[in-house]
A and B are shown apart, each in its own frame.
Chain A
Amino acid sequence: MRPLTDEETKTMFEKLSKYIGENIKLLIDRPDGTYCFRLHNDRVYYMSEKILKLATNISRDKLVSVGTCFGKFTKTQKFRLHITALDFLAPYAKFKVWVKPGSEQSFLYGNHIMKSGLGRITENTAQYQGVVVYSMADVPLGFGVAAKTTQECRKVDPMSIVVFHQADIGEYIRSEDTLT
């Protein structure tokens, strides 16, 4: 387990700010202590400093996971955000999309969201902006990228895609193996 290098930190924070903007500070300085990011086997883990101290007792090859996994760095050093980070992104999300109950299942299977399934969308969403997807009961379902601006969403036909799927909670069942 090692701290992230500057390069890696920059890449990761860029990715995160697509979804939560400048609220990244709130992830590090929390009221119940300081939290930090550490890298282990190409995956980034988010944990409190207290856990960090105790986790150093465990040897590198036997350690499987610490705290919460946010995502991993690919072989070409790009950062890919995993669904396991949803609990931390959802409260600070800047742009949100609500999905109608009928199309919830479709999104949870990994499909993109179409105009017919769109319930609400935050005002002034830019195109290709990172968004967090919620169900109508305000339960976070995953995240994605807006395919159209809010204005355009009003005008397009019901069969066109408005949000590209990136991660959803259905992955806990579909790809349980790749979480580690």
Chain B
Amino acid sequence: MGRKLDPTIKVKRGPGRKARKQKGAETELSKFLVDGKPFPYCDFYHYLPCQLLPIERAARKQKKQPKEKDDLKEDEEEEEEDTVQANIDETEKFILPAAADRAKEGLLPMDLQTIHQRIKDNVDVLSHFSEKREEGKERSEYLSLLRSDLCTYYSYNEFLISKLMDLFPVSELIDFLEANEIHRPVTIRTNTLKTRRRDLAQALINRGVNLDPLGKWSKVGLVIYDSSVPVGATPEYLSGQYMLQGASSFLPVMALSPQEGELVLDMSSAPGGKTTYMAQLMRNTGMIVANDANADRLKSVVGNIHRLGVTNAVICNYDGRQFPKVMGGFDRVLLDAPCSGTGVISKDPGVKTGKDEADILRSAHLQKELILSAIDSVNADSPTGGYLVYCTCSIMVEENEWVVDYALKKRNVKLVSTGLDFGKEGFIRFKERRFHPSLKLSRRFYPHSHNMDGFFVAKLKKLSNAIPTTPRETGL
């Protein structure tokens, strides 16, 4: 029989090489250190008598520290055990770690499981604060612990987490952050200039694509669950029968609803999804001016317009703020303003750490200039139109309600209903700001509640072409 399987061998062999390594460098090196003095046959140690190498010192320190952590954990475990054994009325108490412990945590990497559990417990306490709070601890302490845990667990920067904590109640915040970790489903829009949704769905199913209509609110949308062929390269795609487009991008065009024969401007049109949707709603009549400030991205607009068979479009490369000077008197204008992208974090995780106060304010400034130019490009006396739709893929109040409120003060416009019956209403007040009550008519969409990218849509009607020289009172 082999050595390991032979029951008659009683000799204890002690820990093997691997186990010794785990105990730390000391046990390995103890061979060379006899009574703290170097063993003769190691020249190395001649020059460092009785002194530990730096790595040995660190190993000793490391062995001590886990013991401390274990103490903390043991306390929590004991607490839990006590409460389990006691009456069921007493629920587990969530202990806020002391400030000193938290500082120590900054040095040690904490494992994600613990942080996640702590987040959950913290949210639980905050939701039922009066029952579950620890005596003497303020709500702000719980919140600050939650903030740093969320930053670590979901990899956000402090600024963005603070902003999100202002926007959402704590439990919704967790849903929002979780939703940002996964992608939204792939959606396509049927090009009604070339085909019908039924026929397209049939053709794609024959190719092996698993799809469904998008929802009651859209007659042209399809959501793709999975596919054996690349959805962006099927012959149907190439012949222009559909376009890959996020579900939230359908909304501003549905709100704008351009009519046949109108003159429409799309100020920020790349890559061309909304422009082509407008063209199909107008059935290739009238004219669309598709503008974008970025010449490289305009190539995709050209490609998409030709592929989908749009014949009534003119594509140009101006800065949106030049608009009323170049050409004005449009019946409808769509402004999908460049923004910080906080609604599309699932598509671009770089936003989590890349944005700060200055970025948001810079975007907001640009958006304010653009919305004023857009308003000036609309013809208030248009027989069929006089509408502007302002939308962004951001959820920040500074880029959404604040910009629209600014426009209401500076020009003769008013908010009208977007026609979208789902979605959350825009904010009328937020922290220290107060907005015009008609902001209720704007709509906000979130990834965790509507399963589409974060979005904001507001529809404005221009009342008169005159530009007021003094700011209008908001009447609040």
Chain A interfacial positions (CB closer than 8 Å to B): 32, 47-48, 50-51, 54-55, 57-59, 62-69, 84, 87, 104, 108, 135, 137, 139-141, 169-170, 172-173, 176-177, 179-180
Contacts and interface: CB of A to CB of B under 8 A. Distances in A.
A65 B307 CA distance: 14
A67 B313 contact: yes
B317 A64 contact: yes
Main secondary structure of the interface of A (DSSP, over half): mixed
B34 interface: no
A169 B238 contact: yes
B307 A54 contact: no
B312 interface: yes
Given A51-B314, A58-B289, A173-B238, 4 more contacts: A58-B316, A58-B327, A108-B235, A180-B299
Contacts of A140: 239
A51 B287 contact: yes
B263 A65 contact: no
B315 interface: yes
B263 to A, nearest CB: 7
Given A54-B263, A65-B302, A139 B316 contact: no
B329 to A, nearest CB: 10
Contacts, number: 90
A51 B312 contact: yes
B287 A180 contact: no
A141 B239 contact: yes
7 contacts: A58-B314, A59-B326, A64-B301, A84-B306, A140-B239, A179-B299, A180-B299
B300 interface: yes
Nearest to A67: B311
Across the A-B interface, the 6 shortest Cβ-Cβ residue pairs: A169-B238, A84-B306, A65-B315, A64-B315, A57-B327, A180-B302
Contacts of B314: 51, 54-55, 58, 63, 65-67
Contacts of A65: 302, 305, 313-315
A141 B305 contact: no
Nearest to A176: B303
B311 A63 contact: no
Interface string B275-313: 000000000010101000001001111110111010111
A54 B239 CA distance: 29
Contacts of A87: 309
A68 B263 CA distance: 18
Contacts of B240: 169
Contacts of B311: 47-48, 67-68
A68 B312 CA distance: 8
Contacts of B307: 169, 172
Residue from A65, A108, A140, A173 with most neighbouring chain B CB atoms (10 Å): A65
Given A54-B263, A104-B235, A48 B305 contact: no
A64 B303 contact: no
A108 B238 contact: yes
A179 B289 CA distance: 18
Nearest to B236: A139
A68 B306 contact: yes
